[in-house]
A and B are shown apart, each in its own frame.
Chain A
Amino acid sequence: MKSILCSMHNRRKRFSRMRTAVLGAALAAGALTGCESSGSDTIVLRVSNWEEYIDLGGWDQEDLIDLEDGTKILGKENLTREFEAWFFETYGKKVRVEYSTYGTNEELYNQLTLGDTYDLVCPSEYMIMKMMREDMLIPFSEDFYDTEKEHNYYAKGLSPYIKGVYDDLSIEGEVLSSYAAGYMWGTLGLVYNPEYVTQEQAAHWDLLLNEDFYRRITIKDSVRDAYFAAVSIANLDAITNPDFLNSPDYGERLSEILNATDQETVDAVENILSQAKDNVYSFETDSGKADLVTGKVVANQQWSGDAVYTMDQAEEDGVELCYSAPEEGTNLWFDGWVMLKDGIGQDEDKQLAAEAFINFLSRPDNVIRNMYYIGYTSVISGGDSDLIFQYADWCYGAGEDEEDTVEYPLGYFFSGDAEDGAYIITAAGDQARRQLYAQYPPLDVVERSVVMACFEEEDNARINRMWTNVRCFDILRFFGIEKK
């Protein structure tokens, strides 16, 4: 049980730390405004990120991460403050980070279109593509990709697997990897309570429609996540038959099917989501985690990072939960840093600071601090440094007295070679269905994962209309009037 206890122990500390850390950050911010003497030689970098998506420091001594090779990692200070010091040391220029947060991609986009200016923001893949399409971004410099440079931690450390995904994604002829630097990534799946739901039932998205769990499952109150699950259900037979699975262009065809937005698909989705609405406990934004722990619901739709957090919390209350990335396919999502044209413009110093900020966050020790603090998975695998793999092993590696263990290969992520024997975690057997599986999906999950594209405006409008239709009171059905 060492692995679970170990991860439990670590994460439990995370919660207690957050409060003190937030307080510390508030104090630091207060102190900062008190002595704001930004001369013209100080670069001001305006960063906006998701809430609770960066390590704020202030760890207790018990949080010390003690890796196998003797490296000790402890988050003392807010990472943005540490970046300011590091930047001055490295580049000899002063920088001040003005850090703010947002709750959804749409909120960020609305802020930007209503006139707020930022230099560096961290939206999800589809929003990055929307911003690329609307010419809101500037590409990174060539220097940023130079793996020879000492401080280019991002270029050197990016997981070969993630790099491949970014290089393949393009919109209107522009490759995503020239405009976005990844931050965190994961899958979309189902967290379930194995006491009620079998592994087999949770292996399919149609669990959401299963009447055996009438009013005991929640679905995300988010158009895109609900849409993805419903499209998978609509195409269940087509995408799980052996012929399709073994077809040479399986990946491309799966992506095409799960990204369909034609009227026929949207109608099918509307039908499925209306059924789901009558069957699920709720469309939730935040209550799902707590409801799983209290047993009000037995499964819910979750992003992998939140799933890790949910399983950790449930464990503290003595409830064992599992995670599943369904067999039809899972949505491979990621958040990435992009530089805004309105903010950075032609300012070379600012661009330097922005790129340095990404590199600083991609330095292996900082990657580990962030992952430990927020529970999500970084896109950085570490390159020459194997600290991040050591951290994964530290979290999930089984103890010596563990009897039921599995070999969990992660070569595809860490070295780009799925067969690589150097990157295998020997984990407790249940971790292959639980936190480890959610944090680092195995190769078979990754192979059936699909990046959900940024839809065209007219398709988006159609999907939003469908969503409103699902959620509105159906007066025709209420009075028994048949739809044509």
Chain B
Amino acid sequence: MKRNLFSRKQLAVPYIIFLLLFVVLPLFVVLYYGFTDQEGNLSFANFLAFFTNAKTIGTLLYSVVIGLLTTAVCLLLAYPVAYILAKGAYARRHAFLMVFVLPMWINFTLRITAMKEILTVLEGNLAYHPFFNTILCMVYDFLPFMIMPLFNTLTKLDNQYLEAAGDLGATRAQTFFKVVLPLSVPGIVSGVTMVFLPAMTNYVVLDMVYNSTYIMGSLIGSYFSAYDWHNGSVISLILLLLIAGVTLVSNRFSREQEARR
């Protein structure tokens, strides 16, 4: 009997075709537009324009602040939940986890539409607090993506470490900050990458809660609808660099933590 129907190389073919057609090829198109001017000449003017305009820099900053705040609030909310679920003595912890992840099964525009009605009742007028509402809905949207990786990391954490720390005289707080927290860094890192970057560009949420200020995603859209492929592409490239940067840093961070174990 043959061991495998297809060789590993053959199995990779469908994905490679997909990758070339829909990821690599468009990337080159974006690169082309990003580094050319209206006449098609090589140019860095688009990059310069982005970094010399207070308004576009402001948009970058605004997006980063939204990303950071969303991530921070998600982390603060998700960590205790994941910890209790992972370490608590619940017979049906996976059933409890399900309750927290369940919202993910419902389309997020639907959830935010419901959220809008609730906020309208609570605040009187949705448009009074656009920034607060944006963060709130982003957190609502992305919370499960933070809980899942944290839960997975924390369930794998061996209880003997905690017992050893206790035996050696560490207080509960010391055990948490010196043992649990460092050991859960890989979960934190993957949660952060899953929340921070999408939150920075998810302009649908801003549109839905009537926050009229642009973030990076809406800025790209506004350039494209004015037929300005060049400036729009540059912003996509800047975002790409940012993503690459964050991924690199977080990978290094979590590798260091792995190595310490």
Contacts and interface: CB of A to CB of B under 8 A. Distances in A.
Interface stretch (B18-26, B50-58, B75-83, B238-246): B50-58
Contacts of B214: 468, 471-473
A106 B125 contact: no
A106 B59 CA distance: 24
A298 to B, nearest CB: 11
Given A468-B222, A474-B58, A281 B227 contact: no
Nearest to B209: A282
Interchain residue pairs A-B with the least CB separation, the first 10: A475-B58, A282-B210, A473-B62, A472-B55, A215-B127, A473-B58, A464-B226, A471-B214, A281-B127, A472-B59
Interface in B199-242: 210, 212-214, 218-219, 222-228
Given A281-B210, A282-B212, A468-B222, A475 B61 contact: yes
Contacts of A107: 225
A467 interface: yes
A110 B228 CA distance: 11
B239 to A, nearest CB: 16
Nearest to B212: A283
Interface residues of B, number: 26
Given A215-B125, A468-B56, 12 more contacts: A106-B227, A109-B227, A110-B224, A280-B212, A281-B125, A281-B210, A282-B210, A469-B55, A471-B218, A472-B213, A473-B61, A476-B54
B54 A106 contact: no
Contacts of A472: 55-56, 58-59, 62, 213-214, 219
Contact of A106 (B62, B126, B213, B226): B226
Contacts of B212: 277, 280, 282-283, 471
Nearest to B222: A468
A283 B208 CA distance: 11
Given A296-B125, A468-B214, A475 B227 contact: no
Interface of A: 104, 106-107, 109-110, 113, 215-216, 223, 277, 280-284, 287, 296, 460-461, 464, 467-469, 471-476, 478
A110 B210 CA distance: 27
Interface in B36-85: 54-59, 61-62
B120 interface: yes
A475 B222 contact: no
B5 to A, nearest CB: 36
B55 to A, nearest CB: 4
Contacts of A216: 125
Interface in B135-151: none
Contacts of B59: 472-473
Given A282-B212, A472-B59, A473-B62, A106 B225 contact: yes
Interface of B: 54-59, 61-62, 120, 125-128, 210, 212-214, 218-219, 222-228
A126 B222 CA distance: 19
B52 to A, nearest CB: 13
Contacts of A464: 222, 226, 228
A207 B59 CA distance: 29
16 contacts: A109-B227, A215-B128, A280-B212, A281-B126, A282-B212, A287-B210, A461-B226, A464-B222, A464-B226, A467-B222, A471-B214, A472-B62, A472-B214, A472-B219, A473-B62, A478-B58
A281 B130 CA distance: 10
Contacts of A474: 54-55, 58
Contacts of A284: 210
Contacts of B120: 296
Interface of B, helix, strand, loop or mixed by DSSP: helix
Contacts of B228: 464
B65 to A, nearest CB: 9
Interface of A, helix, strand, loop or mixed by DSSP: helix
A227 B218 CA distance: 19
Given A296-B126, A473-B214, A468 B219 contact: yes
Contacts of B219: 468, 472
Contacts of A461: 226
A198 to B, nearest CB: 21
Given A296-B125, A296-B126, A475 B226 contact: no
Contacts of A468: 55-56, 214, 219, 222-223
A475 B126 contact: no
A471 B125 contact: no
Contact of A475 (B57, B128, B218, B225): B57
Looking at B126, B213, B226, which has the most chain A CB atoms within 10 Å of its CB? Answer: B226
Nearest to B226: A464
A280 B225 CA distance: 23
Given A109-B227, A476-B54, A282 B127 contact: yes
A287 B228 CA distance: 27
A116 to B, nearest CB: 15
A282 B227 CA distance: 24
A475 B54 contact: yes
Contacts of A280: 127, 212
A204 B177 CA distance: 62
Contacts of A104: 225
Contacts of A476: 54, 58
Contacts of B57: 475
A476 B56 CA distance: 11
A107 B224 CA distance: 10
A464 B227 CA distance: 11
B151 to A, nearest CB: 35
Given A296-B126, A467-B222, A473 B227 contact: no
A410 to B, nearest CB: 37
Looking at A283, A464, A471, A473, which has the most chain B CB atoms within 10 Å of its CB? Answer: A473
A106 B227 CA distance: 8
A307 B58 CA distance: 36
Contacts of B58: 472-476, 478
Nearest to A218: B210
Contacts of B125: 215-216, 281, 296
A281 B209 CA distance: 10
Contacts of B226: 106, 223, 460-461, 464
B190 to A, nearest CB: 29
Contacts of B127: 215, 280-282
Nearest to A468: B222
A465 to B, nearest CB: 9
A296 B59 CA distance: 28
Contacts of A473: 55, 58-59, 61-62, 213-214
